[in-house]
Amino acid sequence: MTSKEQIIPARNRPLIFNAFEMTGVGYYAHGTWTHPRSHREGFTDLSFWLDRARQFEEGLFDAVFFADVLGVYDIYRRSPDPAIRSAVDFPLLDPVTVIPAMAAVTRHLGFAVTVSTTYEHPFAHARRFASLDHLTGGRIGWNVVTSYLPNAARNFGLSEMPGHAVRYARAEEFLEVSYKLWEGSWLDDAVLYDKDNTVYADPAKVRRIDHHGQLFDVQGPSLVPPSRQRTPVIYQAGASERGRAFAGRHAEAVFVNGTNPGALTAAITAIRDAAEAAGRRRDDLRVVTDLSVVIGRTEEEARRKADLVRRSQSVEGALAGFGGASGIDLSTASGKERLSPAPGEHSQSEAARFTREKQTPDRVDDVVRRLTDLSPYSETLIGTPAQIADGISRIADTTGVDGFNLHEFVTPDDFTEFIESVVPILQRRGLYRTAYEPGSHRHRLLGAGDRVADTHPAAAFREVSA
Amino acid sequence: MTSKEQIIPARNRPLIFNAFEMTGVGYYAHGTWTHPRSHREGFTDLSFWLDRARQFEEGLFDAVFFADVLGVYDIYRRSPDPAIRSAVDFPLLDPVTVIPAMAAVTRHLGFAVTVSTTYEHPFAHARRFASLDHLTGGRIGWNVVTSYLPNAARNFGLSEMPGHAVRYARAEEFLEVSYKLWEGSWLDDAVLYDKDNTVYADPAKVRRIDHHGQLFDVQGPSLVPPSRQRTPVIYQAGASERGRAFAGRHAEAVFVNGTNPGALTAAITAIRDAAEAAGRRRDDLRVVTDLSVVIGRTEEEARRKADLVRRSQSVEGALAGFGGASGIDLSTASGKERLSPAPGEHSQSEAARFTREKQTPDRVDDVVRRLTDLSPYSETLIGTPAQIADGISRIADTTGVDGFNLHEFVTPDDFTEFIESVVPILQRRGLYRTAYEPGSHRHRLLGAGDRVADTHPAAAFREVSA
């Protein structure tokens, strides 16, 4: 063991590593699909997703995380054209449709997928996710979002985006209905499958939920028998005050971000405080942050590769993405103007974090320069495999973050290189699993059972046999 | 060639054979999951569906057809208990979730899946099916239904089932929105994937749909680039007058039923008349009917097997199923009472057809006896493989039906036996394909292109480059 490795404190568990994905051409860093070595053109083919699934499982990733949006970014230049041209989070297949196929060629990989509570109905959604939990053998997670795009609202018949408070009130009741269907409708011992007496399930143990709330009336029973996890692992990315309270109450894995350790540490503390305020334990949830890497055999090679990535990024794409996520149109702002933090509607977006983290408003030209740097919203590590591993250790040690959502600039090379060169180093340091432990996604993530913890709000809706 | 085979007239194409499925324990004939040789207990496992997919493709079936309902049958005895106990179309996973996995282990098999226009939103639905069309390589079909179950309505916040006319008006506009998203939002040559100039798609060729109708306002553009078929193959089962007009206008494959050739022939003629009345050609659609088989090496063995199937059926299940599909609670009717045809809300259901086909209302005890016979709603052929093949030929010749939705009593034996013993006979007679011809589901079904015919209403929303 080198002296460098000795300074890494022992952890009681490996870090979490998820692969970040989107079901389209574009990706986290806008424009990098144009990189000469990037291959995302096959995203409409099943084989693309089967290959990704196999790669992620070979890499022993905890899960693949699918981000999603339900509209096109049309703030920058008041037009969708820049986003369409540069493929900024557009196009996007329905991410739910790739998961069953990816599950068919893997055994352990988890699946965390973004679905908005603003546009789905909880009965259909709860059925879909209960089905996915069965078919994946307890490997499904749900990233709960409330959506923020005006175009998404107009795709679903709303003339404007519902306000932040309205969306979160709907999300709360949506989750309550879902929990009732997942946890409370079928008792654990309801299914008998008794051929001799023609009793599939004991009707006394399959119950209507009879939910009558402010927004939803749902009778039930759930159409799906209990799955391994029942409630999928709940992911959330609550950056606003309201979002953080929501995440503190419901989330089992939370995305927080920050381009400096201080902001990240503060965000992690705030989210654990929120969990505690909601009557949960501080370690009832895991906190992960976004991370990009550029790996070279030498520092020099890594820097050259980073330059190539930088050149593949799209300025127009970055501005379109910032506009969509922040609501701010930089095409009409002059360079020396100062930028205010984004309005409340966008407060959970990365662009909002980007502006909020600054103590004082930025000048527009600073923002534009920053946006066109490598991965402006999250940390990017550039270096040799050992340097990347050191950087990962450092972030974990200095912030207490539980793990990372790993991004690519170049598909699929970045993950391949990470798996081949960085993972072995992290494994030697005890920071990365060396094999999948058996169990559900929740079990692996939280180190406890397959079902939600007793402190989780879903547990309140459990029904048990007398 | 035997003299018996000589009487079969030459057809210009093989018959259509779909495998009927439901994502649950129960199935078409209620209670047969209790048959000693039936194995549907694995329906929550992905491996069950992968095995089915491989079997269906080995059998050269055109497609697997997934029926679906969104609630539990609670008419009989005014309770869901009989349906829960006997597993009558309950439980049911979301059928969409098994398709991508089944697509991953097949290359040719089509997928026709039931989705109700009453409870989904067209933007989310159109995106989901465009994604499925991509991932399956143009193998997706959509069975359009408007739902008829009161419990389904109460699962989605409606105190009662919307009326027939309201549901069909919604279905019409739902389809219009979907067609605009599938056919009209992206031009064929919109996608450039030009890395050098950072142009994924030409913004001038990706268009908002700006739909403003009675029920839906949808801006667009579609989030999904054009797939092989664009619009999925439209399936429908319109038995009511309104349903038949709807099917005549939109459907490319129609389910009609009848337990006697006269009723079936009349229904087929009526549906082709409806297509013609809608400005389409009489052969712009294919008509298929339900069929069950019990196959023995001898007639005697087939009869013994049929008796065993009959004993595995559930009387309570049959009454629960009839109640759900017809709205008629036979628990409170006396044996000598006469049964009126079902009210309009249920007019597209099988139970409604069952009562409507009778010239005079049945006595309740006749109905009950009939319901507990083998497969009361459709034809069941019992005999040796040659006799089954003869029966299939006879139905096709006397009614002009284009093909069959094949049902099992015993999973997976019935399909295995059909594929091993009946298919070769049908192949020798030119009534069954001997290999998959390449192409999309639509191409194989209709013998034309991948896209909807010019006479189809979706074609009106095509956009072409200037």
Interface of A with B in 32-91 (CB under 8 A): 33-36, 41, 44-46, 49-50, 70-72, 79-82, 84-87, 90-91
Q: Give A413 to chain B, closest Cα distance, Å.
A: 17
Least confidently predicted of A2-6, A9-13, B110-114, B268-272? A2-6
CB pair distance less than 8 Å for A128 and B97:
yes
CB pair distance less than 8 Å for B154 and A216:
no
CB B32 within 8 A of CB B376: no
Amino acid B427: pLDDT: 97
**Residue among B49, B156, B314 minimizing CB distance to A121:** B156
**Closest-CA residue of chain B to A48:** B135
Chain segment A230-285, per-residue pLDDT in tens: 999 999 987 778 889 999 999 999 998 776 888 889 999 999 999 999 999 999 99
Tokens 């709960």 correspond to what residue?
A: A144
**Residue among A96, A104, A130 minimizing CB distance to B50:** A104
CB B146 within 8 A of CB B238: no
Amino acid B340: pLDDT: 64
Cβ neighbors of A121 (< 8 A, separation 6 or more) are: A216, B119, B156, B157
The SS3 of residue A132 is helix
**Closest-CA residue of chain A to B35:** A195
* Region B16-297+379-459: CATH code: 3.20.20.30
Report the alpha-carbon distance of residue B91 to residue A51 in Å, rounded. 33
Q: Give B400 to chain A, closest Cα distance, Å.
A: 37
Q: What is the mean pLDDT of residues A312-338?
A: 86
Amino acid B310: pLDDT: 93
CB pair distance less than 8 Å for A93 and B198:
no
Interface of B with A in 304-323 (CB under 8 A): 314, 316-317
Q: Give A256 to chain B, closest Cα distance, Å.
A: 27
Report the alpha-carbon distance of residue A239 to residue B95 in Å, rounded. 35
What does the angle CA A144 – CA A146 – CA A151 come to, to the nearest 5 degrees? 130
Report the alpha-carbon distance of residue A78 to residue A339 in Å, rounded. 18
CB pair distance less than 8 Å for A34 and B195:
yes
Q: How crowded is residue A438: how many other Cβ atoms within 10 Å of its Cβ?
A: 9
Residue B335 has φ and ψ, to the nearest 5°, of -55, -35
Amino acid B1: pLDDT: 35
CB pair distance less than 8 Å for A34 and B198:
yes
CB pair distance less than 8 Å for B156 and A218:
yes
CB pair distance less than 8 Å for B156 and A97:
no
Say if A138 is an interface residue toward chain B (CB within 8 Å). Answer: no
Chain segment A381-438, per-residue pLDDT in tens: 999 999 999 999 999 999 999 999 999 999 999 999 999 999 999 999 999 999 999 9
**Residue among B34, B121, B154 minimizing CB distance to A198:** B34
User: Which pairing describes strands B217-218 and B211-212: parallel, antiparallel, or unpaired?
Assistant: antiparallel
Report the alpha-carbon distance of residue B346 to residue A294 in Å, rounded. 61
**Helix, strand, coil % over all residues of chain B, rounded to 5:** 40, 15, 45
CB pair distance less than 8 Å for B70 and A123:
yes
Is residue A352 scored above 60 in pLDDT?
A: no
**Closest-CA residue of chain A to B194:** A34
Q: How far is CA B157 from the centre of its chain?
A: 26
Which residues in chain B are contacts of A156 at CB distance < 8 A?
121, 123-124, 218
Report the alpha-carbon distance of residue A15 to residue A21 in Å, rounded. 19
**Closest-CA residue of chain B to A69:** B223
Q: Give A71 to chain B, closest Cα distance, Å.
A: 7
CB A326 within 8 A of CB A339: no
For B111-149, b/e burial (b = at least 16 CB within 10 A) is bbbbbbbbbbbbbbbbbbbbbbbbbbbbbbbbbbbbbbb
Q: Which residues of A does the annotation place in the binding site for FMN? A: 68, 114, 164, 168, 240
Report the alpha-carbon distance of residue A150 to residue A138 in Å, rounded. 34
Amino acid A261: pLDDT: 83
CB pair distance less than 8 Å for B85 and A227:
no
Which residues in chain A are contacts of B218 at CB distance < 8 A?
154-157
The SS3 of residue A94 is coil
Residue A366 corresponds to which tokens in the numbers above?
């600073």
Residue A37 corresponds to which tokens in the numbers above?
């070595």
Q: What is the mean pLDDT of chain A?
A: 90
For residues B105 and A164, the model is more confident at B105
Amino acid A2: pLDDT: 40
CB pair distance less than 8 Å for A224 and B93:
yes
Is residue A360 scored above 70 in pLDDT?
A: no
CB pair distance less than 8 Å for A84 and B130:
no
DSSP structure class, residue A118: T
CB pair distance less than 8 Å for B99 and A104:
no
Residue A194 corresponds to which tokens in the numbers above?
């008794």
How sure is the predictor about A354, in pLDDT bands with cuts at 50, 70 and 90?
low
Amino acid A361: pLDDT: 54
Residue A396 corresponds to which tokens in the numbers above?
């974990």
Report the alpha-carbon distance of residue B428 to residue B123 in Å, rounded. 46
Report the alpha-carbon distance of residue A304 to residue B436 in Å, rounded. 51
CB pair distance less than 8 Å for B198 and A317:
yes
Size of interface A-B (CB pairs under 8 A): 231
- Residuewise pLDDT in 10s, chain B (466 residues): 344 333 334 455 799 999 999 999 987 889 999 999 999 999 999 999 999 999 999 999 999 999 999 999 999 999 999 999 999 999 999 999 999 999 999 999 999 999 999 999 999 999 999 999 999 999 999 999 998 888 999 999 987 778 888 999 999 999 999 999 999 999 999 999 999 999 999 999 999 999 999 999 999 999 999 999 999 999 998 777 888 999 999 999 999 887 688 888 999 999 999 999 999 999 999 999 999 999 999 999 999 999 999 999 999 999 999 898 888 888 887 777 777 655 544 544 555 555 555 444 567 777 777 887 777 777 899 999 999 999 999 999 999 999 999 999 999 999 999 999 999 999 999 999 999 999 999 999 999 999 999 999 999 999 876 6
DSSP B242-265: HHHHHHHHH-SEEE---SSHHHHH
DSSP structure class, residue A181: I
CB pair distance less than 8 Å for B71 and A223:
yes
Which residues in chain B are contacts of A86 at CB distance < 8 A?
198, 200
- Percentage of residues in chain A having pLDDT higher than 90: 76
Say if A157 is an interface residue toward chain B (CB within 8 Å). Answer: yes
ipTM: 0.94
CA-CA-CA-CA torsion for B453, B459, B465, B466, nearest 10 degrees? 100
Say if B181 is an interface residue toward chain A (CB within 8 Å). Answer: no
**Residue among B34, B124, B316 minimizing CB distance to A195:** B34
Cβ neighbors of B50 (< 8 A, separation 6 or more) are: A104, B101, B102, B104, B105
In 3D space, the residue among B210, B268, B277 whose CA is nearest the CA of residue B239 turns out to be: B268
Please give the model's pTM, rounded to 2 decimal places: 0.94
